[in-house]
């Protein structure tokens, strides 16, 4: 079955740029979505359709999909960005929603 691979953790200093990757077989042909989850809270959609931001999500959050990896980029990282981030696709072969294992973003 289709598997999405994320690094377990990413650390970045405030004001720097964080990049969180999501790898999958032929992910270039999939549409990728990203969620932010803070401790004890429900996930929040931060990017959909690879790079679109829902209303209320800062422009600091952006997405790209070069090659076989999707990337969530957070510019000018703030302490409030510290959270777990999950990528997600709809796997057409199984006709089901799949999530990556999640990446814990630590702001140093």
Rg from Cα positions in the chain: 13
Q: Are 11 and 106 in contact (CB under 8 A)?
A: yes
**Closer of 37 and 73 to another protein (Cβ):** 37
Binding residues (CB under 8 A) for another protein: these are: 31, 33, 35, 41-45, 48-49, 54, 86, 88-90, 94-97, 99-102
Provide, rounded to whole angstroms, the least separation between the CB of residue 82 and another protein.
Answer: 16
CB of 14 to another protein, least distance (A): 25
Question: In sequence order, which residues have a C-beta less than 8 Å from that of residue 78 and are 6 or more positions away?
Answer: 14, 107
């Amino acid at each position: 079955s289709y598997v999405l691979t994320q690094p377990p953790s990413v650390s970045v200093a405030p004001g720097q740029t964080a990049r969180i990757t999501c790898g999958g077989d032929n992910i270039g042909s999939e549409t990728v979505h990203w969620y932010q989850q803070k401790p004890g809270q429900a996930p929040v959609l931060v990017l959909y359709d690879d790079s679109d931001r829902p209303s209320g999500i800062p422009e600091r959050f952006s997405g790209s999909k070069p090659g076989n990896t999707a990337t969530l980029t957070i510019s000018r990282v703030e302490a409030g960005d510290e959270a777990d981030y999950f990528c997600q696709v709809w796997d057409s072969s199984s006709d089901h929603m799949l999530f990556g294992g999640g990446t814990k973003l630590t702001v140093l």
